[in-house]
């Protein structure tokens, strides 16, 4: 959609007017973590470092991702919608033939194309050091699609979408720069674990930059926790073992009540339905297994928070914390992949579990339903459970501290606009000989002063035939709606999020004119950003992650 940059320029000038030096910028992304998992968003998992970051910064109650791993990363990195980058579906997976669609289906290339520019490329041109550790997942089969070829000066992580966390191996192994690392070792005396390694290498890159040029730096830290396979250290697992014998029904109720107490959700919003069986209908043996699975999941979130704390402590020690912007979010809602009860992997065979990859072990749809309390649906979907994420924005030197939730809705394309605004960088109309689309988002810089965002355009989503549009408090959402040709209006659902953000009261039959109007706007957007034309679904390259 056509946009004016007036609001971006105004907010940027206002912010830079009192900026003595450009800030460092850190983007931290969790993988497959639900809306209510961390403590400051209602969870019982111990996340003191994220909780403190939220308390000292700006905590958004309504921030959205793009429903799936690599579409979210494409939008985060470019400020565009995923289809505009060639990732309307997923990346071509490592074990499949590198399939591209050419000019016929430009939105479904299977990798991030050169018809967009990354945050790293924009900030690199502005004199920032550009650093990345963690999960790339934006193109695998050719080095031209890897981080160092897309603006990052240093990279340590995995190119593919997921890996074994203790034993990352080809083709889902560790890459340093452009070179594979056959047997990665810990930089400390700890056992090798990718969550630890990504943090340690991020700190190492920051220190190397400080010792060399001391430019402002941009670090993209993309964890794979708590994405399956559920791999965690025993000390964290045992901390949570037995705590989930309460079951998912009680856990959802407790989180729901805490979220109301925190002011995050409205008590008038009904909680969504349970996704599967009541906890009390499970056998004692199955309850014990499911407790173990959730304990592993919680342990992964806990360990990630410890590592974020380690990074923050280091920034403070070197005098970089106060002038560093930190953004934290998850790439999609909680993950229901691997079956309703988490798949077939035996959770008690720990040694075997730690050598697994594949589709397990996971924690199952039932726990994902709890992770997304109080919302409907999961990863893949554009209902709130698929796209709502915690979002924390912290700039200690500049942000206005408030105990209140920041209420203006925002989403991934806004990150690029914010980074460009605050850093003073320039977003190009041409890069590397390619025309670059305008940014699709708006700057979130006003949030740092507690002011509302002035969004003029609707927010849009589409992934895997799941679609949504939000205009003000109205949201049109549906699954299986973007079939070839005109969307089937009977599949659209209409919600007033101010009264029903849990999407339990469909108003589409009561307000058919509003449904039709929003559906028309969505279809116009879909045609503009390359949702169409799309290849037949059965010809997509098969990839879970």
Which tens digit of pLDDT belongs to each residue from 206-223? 999 988 887 999 999 999
429 lies in the same domain as 496: no
Per-residue b or e along 206-223, where b marks 16 or more CB atoms closer than 10 Å to that residue's CB: beebeeeeeebbbbbbbb
Would residue 174 count as lying in a domain?
yes
Q: What is the pLDDT of residue 18?
A: 37
Looking at 427, 455, 483, which one is the last position of a domain? 455
100-114, 473-487, 517-531: range with lowest mean pLDDT: 473-487
Would residue 545 count as lying in a domain?
no
The answer to whether 369 and 274 are in contact (CB under 8 A) is yes
Instruction: List the CATH number of the domain containing 449.
Output: 3.40.720.10
Q: Structure tokens of 446?
A: 């006003």
Would residue 4 count as lying in a domain?
no
Q: What is the pLDDT of residue 96?
A: 72
Q: What is the pLDDT of residue 354?
A: 62
Q: What is the pLDDT of residue 267?
A: 97
11-25, 35-49, 398-412: range with lowest mean pLDDT: 11-25
Pairwise CA distance, residues 204 & 137, whole Å: 22
Q: What is the pLDDT of residue 93?
A: 82
Q: Structure tokens of 374?
A: 């109080």
pLDDT of 394 over the 70 cut = yes
In angstroms, the Cα distances linking 178 to 91, 152, 181 are: 18, 11, 10
Q: What is the pLDDT of residue 6?
A: 39
Pairwise CA distance, residues 32 & 386, whole Å: 10
Percentage of residues in the chain with pLDDT exceeding 90?
78
9-13, 74-78, 314-318, 410-414: range with lowest mean pLDDT: 9-13
211 lies in the same domain as 234: yes
Burial class from Cβ neighbours inside 10 Å (0-12, 13-18, 19+) for residue 118 reads: buried
Q: What is the CA radius of gyration of the chain?
A: 22
Pairwise CA distance, residues 313 & 60, whole Å: 24
206 lies in the same domain as 344: yes
Sign of CA dihedral 317, 318, 324, 330: negative
pLDDT of 1 over the 90 cut = no
Torsion of Cα atoms, 194 then 195 then 198 then 202, to 10°: -160
50 lies in the same domain as 98: yes
176 lies in the same domain as 304: yes
Would residue 380 count as lying in a domain?
yes
**Mind giving me the DSSP string for 82-132?**
GGGGT-SS-PPPTTS-----TTTSGGG-SS--SSS--HHHHHHHTT-EEEE
The answer to whether 33 and 301 are in contact (CB under 8 A) is yes
Is 69 catalytic? The answer is yes
376 lies in the same domain as 470: no
The answer to whether 525 and 469 are in contact (CB under 8 A) is yes
Q: What is the pLDDT of residue 486?
A: 45
Higher pLDDT, 486 or 301: 301
Burial class from Cβ neighbours inside 10 Å (0-12, 13-18, 19+) for residue 262 reads: middle
Higher pLDDT, 401 or 126: 126
**Residue-range definition of the domain harbouring residue 489:** 457-534
Looking at 455, 483, 513, which one is the last position of a domain? 455
pLDDT tier at 488 (50, 70, 90 boundaries)?
A: low
Backbone angles phi, psi at 470, to 5 degrees: -125, 125
Looking at 455, 472, 494, which one is the last position of a domain? 455
The answer to whether 104 and 498 are in contact (CB under 8 A) is no
Pairwise CA distance, residues 103 & 323, whole Å: 44
The answer to whether 136 and 69 are in contact (CB under 8 A) is no
pLDDT of 121 over the 60 cut = yes
241 lies in the same domain as 298: yes
Q: How many domains does the chain have?
A: 2
Instruction: List the CATH number of the domain containing 485.
Output: 3.30.1120.10
Other beta carbons within 10 angstroms of residue 479's beta carbon come to 19
Q: What is the pLDDT of residue 9?
A: 44
pLDDT tier at 13 (50, 70, 90 boundaries)?
A: very low
Encode pLDDT of 150-167 as tens digits.
999 999 999 999 999 998
pTM listed for this prediction: 0.94
Q: What is the DSSP letter of 263?
A: T
Encode pLDDT of 251-272 as tens digits.
999 999 999 999 999 999 999 9
pLDDT tier at 356 (50, 70, 90 boundaries)?
A: low
Would residue 315 count as lying in a domain?
yes
435 lies in the same domain as 477: no
Encode pLDDT of 41-50 as tens digits.
999 999 999 9
393 lies in the same domain as 461: no
Higher pLDDT, 367 or 340: 367
Q: Identify the three-state secondary structure at position 260.
A: helix
pLDDT tier at 479 (50, 70, 90 boundaries)?
A: confident
315-329, 401-415, 485-499, 520-534: range with lowest mean pLDDT: 485-499
Of the candidates 40, 69, 70, 335, the residue annotated as catalytic is 69
Pairwise CA distance, residues 114 & 88, whole Å: 15
Encode pLDDT of 179-201 as tens digits.
999 889 887 778 899 999 999 99
Would residue 19 count as lying in a domain?
no
Other beta carbons within 10 angstroms of residue 497's beta carbon come to 17
Is 233 catalytic? The answer is no
Q: Which residues pair with residue 155 across a beta bridge?
A: 132
Pairwise CA distance, residues 436 & 508, whole Å: 37
Mean pLDDT, residues 235-262 taken together: 97
490 lies in the same domain as 436: no
Of the candidates 81, 83, 137, 380, the residue annotated as catalytic is 137
Encode pLDDT of 328-354 as tens digits.
999 999 999 888 888 754 444 545 656
50-59, 207-216, 458-467, 510-519: range with lowest mean pLDDT: 207-216
Pairwise CA distance, residues 221 & 523, whole Å: 35
Q: How high does pLDDT run on average in the chain?
A: 90
pLDDT tier at 55 (50, 70, 90 boundaries)?
A: very high
Q: What is the pLDDT of residue 111?
A: 95
Q: What is the pLDDT of residue 351?
A: 52
Would residue 64 count as lying in a domain?
yes
Q: What is the pLDDT of residue 94?
A: 83
Q: Structure tokens of 491?
A: 């599949």
Q: Identify the three-state secondary structure at position 340.
A: coil
Q: Structure tokens of 113?
A: 């194309």
- Spatial CB neighbours of 196, under 8 Å, sequence gap ≥ 6: 186, 188, 190, 303, 307
Pairwise CA distance, residues 265 & 375, whole Å: 11
409 lies in the same domain as 520: no
Sign of CA dihedral 292, 294, 298, 301: positive
The answer to whether 410 and 439 are in contact (CB under 8 A) is no
The answer to whether 49 and 308 are in contact (CB under 8 A) is yes
Q: What is the pLDDT of residue 440?
A: 98
Pairwise CA distance, residues 198 & 184, whole Å: 12
322 lies in the same domain as 441: yes
Mean pLDDT, residues 313-332 taken together: 98
Q: Structure tokens of 428?
A: 């190009």
Would residue 1 count as lying in a domain?
no
Pairwise CA distance, residues 394 & 388, whole Å: 19
Q: What is the pLDDT of residue 353?
A: 58
CA 128 from chain centre, in angstroms, equals 23
């Amino acid at each position: 959609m056509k946009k004016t940059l007036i609001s971006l320029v105004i907010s940027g000038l206002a912010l830079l007017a009192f900026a003595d030096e450009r800030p460092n910028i850190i983007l931290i992304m969790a993988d497959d973590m639900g809306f209510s998992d961390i403590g400051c968003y209602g969870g019982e998992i111990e996340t003191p470092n994220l909780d403190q970051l939220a308390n000292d910064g700006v905590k958004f109650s309504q921030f959205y991702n793009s429903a799936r791993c690599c579409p979210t990363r494409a939008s985060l990195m470019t400020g565009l919608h995923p289809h505009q980058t060639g990732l309307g579906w997923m990346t071509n997976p490592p074990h499949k033939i590198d399939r591209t669609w050419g000019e016929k289906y430009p939105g479904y290339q299977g990798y991030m194309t050169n018809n967009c520019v990354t945050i790293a490329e924009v900030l690199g041109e502005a004199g920032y050091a550009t650093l990345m550790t963690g999960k790339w997942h934006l193109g695998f089969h050719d080095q031209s699609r890897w981080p160092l070829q897309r603006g990052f000066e240093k990279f340590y992580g995995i190119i593919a979408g997921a890996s074994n966390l203790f034993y990352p191996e080809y083709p889902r192994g560790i890459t340093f720069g452009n070179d594979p690392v056959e047997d990665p070792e810990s930089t400390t005396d700890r056992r090798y674990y990718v969550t630890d390694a990504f943090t340690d290498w991020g700190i190492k890159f920051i220190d190397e930059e400080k010792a060399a040029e001391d430019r402002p730096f941009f670090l993209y830290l993309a964890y794979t926790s708590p994405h399956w396979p559920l791999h965690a250290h025993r000390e964290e697992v045992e901390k949570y073992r037995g705590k989930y014998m309460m079951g998912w029904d009680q856990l959802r109720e407790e989180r729901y009540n805490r979220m109301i107490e925190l002011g995050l959700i409205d008590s008038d919003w009904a909680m969504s339905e349970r996704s599967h069986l009541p906890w009390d209908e499970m056998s004692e043996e199955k309850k014990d297994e499911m407790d173990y699975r959730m304990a592993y999941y919680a342990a992964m979130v806990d360990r990630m928070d410890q590592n974020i704390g380690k990074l923050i402590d280091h920034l403070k020690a070197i005098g970089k914390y106060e002038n560093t912007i930190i953004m934290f979010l998850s790439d999609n809602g909680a993950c229901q992949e691997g079956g309703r009860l988490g798949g077939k992997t035996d959770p008690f065979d720990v040694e075997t579990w730690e050598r697994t990859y594949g589709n397990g072990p996971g924690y199952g749809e039932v726990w994902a339903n709890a992770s997304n309390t109080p919302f409907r649906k999961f990863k893949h979907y554009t209902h709130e459970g698929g796209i709502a994420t915690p979002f924390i924005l912290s700039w200690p030197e500049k942000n206005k501290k408030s105990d209140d939730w920041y209420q203006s809705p925002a989403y991934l394309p806004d990150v690029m606009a914010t980074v460009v605004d605050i850093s003073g960088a320039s977003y190009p109309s041409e890069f590397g000989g390619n025309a670059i689309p305008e940014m699709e988002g708006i700057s979130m810089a006003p949030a740092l002063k507690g002011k509302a965002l002035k969004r003029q355009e609707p927010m849009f989503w589409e992934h895997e035939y799941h679609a949504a549009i939000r205009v003000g408090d109205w949201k049109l959402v549906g699954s299986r709606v973007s079939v070839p040709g005109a969307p089937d209006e009977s599949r659209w659902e209409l919600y007033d999020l101010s009264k029903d953000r849990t999407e339990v009261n469909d108003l589409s039959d009561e307000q058919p004119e509003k449904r039709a109007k929003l559906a028309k706007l969505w279809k116009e957007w879909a045609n503009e950003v390359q949702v169409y034309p799309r290849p037949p679904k059965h010809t997509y390259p098969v990839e879970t992650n």
